[in-house]
Amino acid sequence: MTVRHGFHATMTAQPGKADELIELLLDAPSLPHEDCVVFLVSRSASDRNVVHVIEGWTSTEAHSAFFASEQAQALVAKLEPLLVGESTYTDAVPVGGKATF
């Protein structure tokens, strides 16, 4: 599958809530979704409350349709109270690389 749409999100968790935020993200309903081909969660080395997510999707339409779903909206509702301020999102289209776990 080819990634045609992606984004990078940076979120700041409420103090002491980063582990809970990460746990929810690593159990996100997008992970098993066939159109989500990249889903990486990382934590800042300098600020343990800052969490990054990189997602890659087969198309903009697939991403939009998924995030309009009830499952995705339920996840967003669980994440929001754990966050401080506004998250930042940057559109991206992965062009190559590697992720091995």
Model-level pTM? 0.89
CB 70 within 8 A of CB 29: no
**Domain locations along the chain:** 5-86
b/e 12-32 (16+ beta carbons within 10 angstroms → b): bbeeebbeebbeebeebebee
- Please write the tens of the pLDDT for every residue from 55-92: 999 999 999 999 999 999 999 999 999 999 999 999 98
User: Which residue's entry shows tokens 């749409």?
Assistant: 5
Taking only the tens place, the pLDDT of each residue in 8-61 is 999 999 999 999 999 999 999 998 999 999 999 999 999 999 999 999 999 999
Q: Are strands 36-43 and 5-12 parallel, antiparallel or unpaired?
A: unpaired
Say yes or no: domain 5-86 is CATH 3.40.1710.10: no
